[in-house]
A and B are shown apart, each in its own frame.
Chain A
Amino acid sequence: MRLKKLFAAVPAIALAAGLGACDNGLTDLNGNPNAPEEVPPANLLANAIVTSAGSDYGSHGVWYGLYLTNIWSQQAAQVKYNDEDRYTPRPAQLSGVWNNFYAGPLRDLAQVKKYAVDAGPGADNLAAVAEILSQMNFQYLTDTYGDVPYSQALLLDSGVTSPKYDAQKDVYYGMLARLTAASAALEPGENTGGWASGDVLYDGDVQHWRKFANSLRMRMAMRLSEADPVKARAEFVAAYTAGGFTSNADNAVIRWSGEQPSQNPLYDYYYNQDRYDFVISAAMVDSMASLHDPRLPIYADVAKDDTYRGLKNGSLPADFGKNVPDYSSIGEYFLAADAPSVLQSYAEVLFLQAEAAARGWIAADAEALYRAGVRASLEQYGIGSSEAQAYAASLPYNGRPSIAFQKWLALYMNGPEGWAEVRRTGYPLLTPARGAQLPTRLIYPNEEQIVNNANWQSAVTASGGTSVFDKVWWDR
Chain B
Amino acid sequence: MRRTRWLAAALVAVALSPLSLLAQANAVVAGTVTNAQGGPENGVMVRIERLNVGTTTAQNGTYRLVIPAARVGASASVAVSASRQGLATVTRNVTLTPGAELTQNFVLAASAVELQGLVVTALGITREERSIPNAVQQVSGDELSRSEPNIVASLSGKVSGVNITTAGAQGGSSRIVIRGPSSLTGNNQPLFVVDGVPIDNGSPRLEGYGGRDYGNGAQDINPSDVESISVLKGPNAAALYGSRAANGAIIITTKSGRGTGGRSQVTVSQYGTLEDALRLPSFQNAFGQGLNGQFEYVDGNGGGTYDDYDESWGPPLDGRAIPQYNSPVVGGVRQATPWVANPDNVSSFFDRAYTLTTDASFATSTDRANVRLSVARMDQDAMMPGQKLGRTSVGLNGGIDVSSRLRATTSVQYVGSDGRNRPGIGYDETNPLGQFIWFGRQVDMQDLRQNYRNQRPEDDSQAGMPYSWNYSFHPNPYFLQMSNQNQDSRDRLIGNVALNYEFTDWLSAMARVGTDWYSDDRKVTYAALNYGVGAFNPMTLDTDAVGSNGAFGFQQIGFQETNADFLVNAKPYVSDAFSLVATLGGNQRKVRRQETYTYVSDLVVPGIYSTSNALNTPTDEDYLTRRQINSLYGQAELGYNDYLFVTLTGRNDWSSTLPEDNNSYFYPSVSGALVFTDAVPSLDMGGALTYGKLRASWARVGNDAQPYQLRATYLKQDPFNGIPTFTVPGTLPNDQLRPEETTSIEVGTELRFFDDRIGLDLSYYNSTTRDQIMPVQVSRSSGYASRIVNAGTVRNRGVEVLLNATPVEKGDFRWETTVSWAKNSNRVVSLAEGTDGLLLGSFWGLNIEARRGQPYGSLVGYEYQRDSQGRIVVDEAGLPTANPTVTVLGNYQPDWSGSLTNTFGYKGLSLKVLLDTKQGGSIYSTTHMWGTYAGVLDETAAGRCSLDDTYDNLPACTAATGIVVPGVRVTEAGDTVTNDIVTDAQNYWASLYGLHEAHVFDASFVKLRELTLGYDVPGSMTRRFGLSRMNVALIGRNLALWAKAPHIDPETAFDASNVQGLEFAQMPTARSIGLSVSVTP
Contact = CB atoms under 8 A, between A and B. Distances in A.
Interface of A: 3, 6-7, 10-11, 13-15, 17-18, 20-24, 26-27, 29-39, 42-44, 46-47, 50-51, 90-92, 95, 98-99, 102-104, 106-108, 110-111, 148-149, 153-157, 160-163, 197-198, 200, 255-257, 259-262, 268, 272-274, 317-318, 322-325, 445-453, 455, 466
Contacts of A37: 711-714
Nearest to A18: B4
Contact of A323 (B306, B616, B630): B306
A43 B715 contact: no
A91 B783 contact: no
Q: Which one of A98, A256, A318, A453 has the highest number of Cβ atoms from chain B below 10 Å of its Cβ?
A: A318
Given A29-B628, A34-B623, A453-B836, A272 B780 contact: no
Nearest 3 A/B pairs, CB to CB: A323-B302, A18-B4, A35-B713
Given A33-B624, A44-B728, A273-B534, A92 B845 contact: yes
B921 interface: no
B7 A324 contact: no
A325 B302 contact: yes
Q: Is the interface of A mostly helix, strand, loop or mixed?
A: helix
19 contacts: A3-B503, A10-B509, A17-B566, A17-B630, A21-B632, A21-B654, A23-B630, A26-B656, A29-B628, A30-B656, A32-B713, A33-B626, A34-B624, A107-B728, A323-B307, A325-B302, A447-B780, A449-B886, A451-B777
Interface string B1-32: 10011011101100110000000000000000
Contacts of B534: 272-274
Interface string B272-306: 00000000000000000001100000000011011
Contacts of B725: 43-44, 46-47, 50, 198
Interface of B: 1, 4-5, 7-9, 11-12, 15-16, 291-292, 302-303, 305-308, 501, 503, 509, 531-532, 534-535, 544-545, 566, 568, 584, 586, 588, 601, 616, 622-624, 626-628, 630-632, 652, 654-657, 659-660, 663-664, 707-708, 710-728, 730, 732, 777-785, 787, 834-837, 839, 845, 849, 884-886, 950, 994
A22 B777 contact: no
Contacts of B720: 46-47, 50, 200, 262
Q: Which one of A15, A18, A20, A157 has the highest number of Cβ atoms from chain B below 10 Å of its Cβ?
A: A18
A44 B726 contact: yes
Given A17-B586, A26-B656, A162-B778, 19 more contacts: A10-B11, A11-B12, A13-B586, A14-B8, A15-B8, A17-B630, A21-B630, A21-B652, A22-B1, A30-B627, A30-B656, A34-B713, A50-B720, A261-B719, A262-B720, A317-B291, A325-B303, A450-B849, A451-B834
B950 A322 contact: no
A7 B15 contact: yes
Given A10-B15, A14-B586, A274 B532 contact: yes
Nearest to B845: A91
Contact of A198 (B545, B656, B723, B849): B723
Q: Which one of B307, B656, B657, B783 has the highest number of Cβ atoms from chain A below 10 Å of its Cβ?
A: B783
A154 B784 CA distance: 8
Contact of A103 (B5, B584, B716, B785): B785
A103 B501 CA distance: 60
B710 A260 contact: no
B727 A108 contact: yes
Q: Which one of A38, A197, A450 has the highest number of Cβ atoms from chain B below 10 Å of its Cβ?
A: A450
Given A27-B656, A32-B708, A39-B714, A318 B292 contact: yes
A323 B586 contact: no
B728 A200 contact: no
A410 B669 CA distance: 73
Q: Which one of A7, A17, A18 has the highest number of Cβ atoms from chain B below 10 Å of its Cβ?
A: A17
A89 to B, nearest CB: 11
Contacts of B785: 99, 103
B713 A90 contact: no
A30 B319 CA distance: 69
B882 to A, nearest CB: 9
B835 A450 contact: yes
Contact of A260 (B305, B616, B655, B727): B616
Nearest to B9: A11
Nearest to B602: A260
Contacts of B654: 21-22, 26
A328 to B, nearest CB: 14
A95 B842 CA distance: 13
A452 B832 CA distance: 12
Contacts of B885: 449
Contact of A11 (B8, B836, B950): B8
B726 A47 contact: yes
Contacts of B727: 44, 47, 51, 104, 107-108
A452 B717 CA distance: 29
Contacts of A450: 777, 835-837, 839, 849
A339 B282 CA distance: 47
Nearest to B405: A1
Q: Which one of B624, B628, B885 has the highest number of Cβ atoms from chain A below 10 Å of its Cβ?
A: B628
A20 B630 contact: yes
Nearest to B729: A35
B778 A15 contact: no
Contact of A102 (B584, B718, B780, B835): B780
B778 A451 contact: yes
A340 B760 CA distance: 75
A26 B779 contact: no
A7 to B, nearest CB: 5
